[in-house]
Amino acid sequence: MRIALIILALAAVAVGMVHLRRAETKANHEIHRLQLQQIGLRRTLYDQQAALGCLTAPRQVRQRAERMDAHLTDELPAGSVVAQRREPWPAPSPPVRGRRR
């Protein structure tokens, strides 16, 4: 009778180990798949950053503005004031010597 219990316990341990190994293999497969997906996404991100860098280069912006005939700075008549201060800034007060906190 004892030998049957021992065999049954060993069989349960073996089934548990097979189940754990299968779960570990499945998790490793998922990790590998996600790492490959991450590599692909990083490549896509790098390509998009490179394309964005080309599009935002000063020369490209200027060329696009010229092609669109935007006239970004020619709209104001000569001599017009865009912004003006109402009052001049006050002069900074000199530091007070001898007082420490």
The pLDDT tens digits of the residues spanning 58-82 come to: 888 888 888 887 666 655 555 555 5
Of 23-37, 51-65, 76-90, the least confident: 76-90
Domain extent at residue 56: 38-67
Average pLDDT of the residues in 6-26: 96
pLDDT at 70: 63
pTM listed for this prediction: 0.50
Question: Would you give the DSSP letter of residue 76?
Answer: S
pLDDT at site 85? 60
If one counts the domains in the chain, the total is 1
Rounded Cα distance between 20 and 17, Å, is 5
Residue 34 pLDDT more than 90? yes
The whole-number pLDDT of residue 1 equals: 87
* Residue 56 forms part of a structural domain: yes
Q: Is residue 100 part of a domain?
A: no
Separation CA 80–CA 67 (nearest Å)? 27
